[in-house]
Structure 1
Amino acid sequence: MKGLFIVNDPPYGTERVYNALRLAHALVKKDPSMQVTVFLMADAVLAGKANQKTPDGYYNVERMLKRVLSSHGAVLLCGTCMDARGIGDAELIQGARRSTMDELAGATIEADKVLIF
């Protein structure tokens, strides 16, 4: 099964990114054959930045995205949204990459389930 998570909110301040990534991890844990794609757009592209430092005991979305990547998932970031926020490709978590609306459209067509956060 293929699951697509489209995430729009900033990584911190609300818990939508946190909850989306928790669910993505739980799905892969329950069904290791699950193929998860996380598409970050709008302020969610900030979640894809490397070297995030959060207080002890606080969730860290960089680590959560790395769990998606380590379970053979994909982390894609809207290139237009990155540009609008001044984020360059070199600033991204290793394995995450710039993407396009055309690629999101293709992933949407291919997905068995689409979840929007």
Structure 2
Amino acid sequence: MTSILLVAHDSPYGSERLYNALRIALATQEHAEQPVQQKLFLMSDATVAALSGQQTPDLSYHIGQMLEILLAQGVEIAVCRTCAEARGLTPDRLIEGVTIGTLVDLTRQTLAADKVIHI
């Protein structure tokens, strides 16, 4: 089984970088010919993508829903603890299933992954 670690840094709605990264993750889950284990680690401004209760009536996409779909597909999603704390994010404010991770967690995931993608 191929393991992929996707590390995202960009704001969820400031550009389309995170949106496109999540599109790739979803497509990978749906169209891989062989099982793929994906993990997503959100850092910097990407951490706010994991906020629950997002309201996006003016946008054609909803980052929170995309994360929920990935979680339902078995993708592990974590936010950087230091980055989350700097933005006032606490576990109770995150989408259910998203965890708080550390730099040590990210390091271990990086070393264990077959492929690492930074967005």
For this structure pair, what is the TM-score category when the shorter chain's length is used for normalisation? over 0.9
Please tell me whether the aligned partners of residues 6 and 40 of structure 1 are also in contact (alpha carbons under 8 angstroms): yes
Residue of structure 1 equivalent to 2:104: 102
- Alignment of 1:17 with 2:18, yes or no, is yes
Residue of structure 1 equivalent to 2:27: 26
Post-superposition CA distance 1:45-94 (Å, at most 9, x none)? 00010010101552110000111111111000000000000111100000
Residue of structure 2 equivalent to 1:49: 51
- The CA distance in 1 between the partners of 2:79 and 2:14, in whole Å, is 19
- Alignment of 1:63 with 2:65, yes or no, is yes
Change (3 A) 1:91 1:29: same
In structure 1, runs of 5+ residues without a counterpart are: none
**SS of residue matched to 1:35:** strand
Stretch deviating more after TM superposition (61-70 or 24-33): 24-33
* TM-score, length of structure 2 as denominator length: 0.94
Kindly provide the amino acid, as one letter, of the partner of residue 72 in structure 2: S
Kindly provide the amino acid, as one letter, of the partner of residue 11 in structure 1: P
Residue of structure 1 equivalent to 2:79: 77
Identity of aligned residues (%): 38
Stretch deviating more after TM superposition (85-94 or 49-58): 49-58
Residue of structure 2 equivalent to 1:8: 9
User: How many residues in Structure 1 have an aligned counterpart in Structure 2?
Assistant: 117
* TM-score, length of structure 1 as denominator length: 0.96
Please tell me whether the aligned partners of residues 41 and 77 of structure 1 are also in contact (alpha carbons under 8 angstroms): yes
Kindly provide the amino acid, as one letter, of the partner of residue 20 in structure 2: N
Kindly provide the amino acid, as one letter, of the partner of residue 90 in structure 2: G
- The CA distance in 2 between the partners of 1:36 and 1:69, in whole Å, is 10
- The CA distance in 1 between the partners of 2:31 and 2:106, in whole Å, is 25
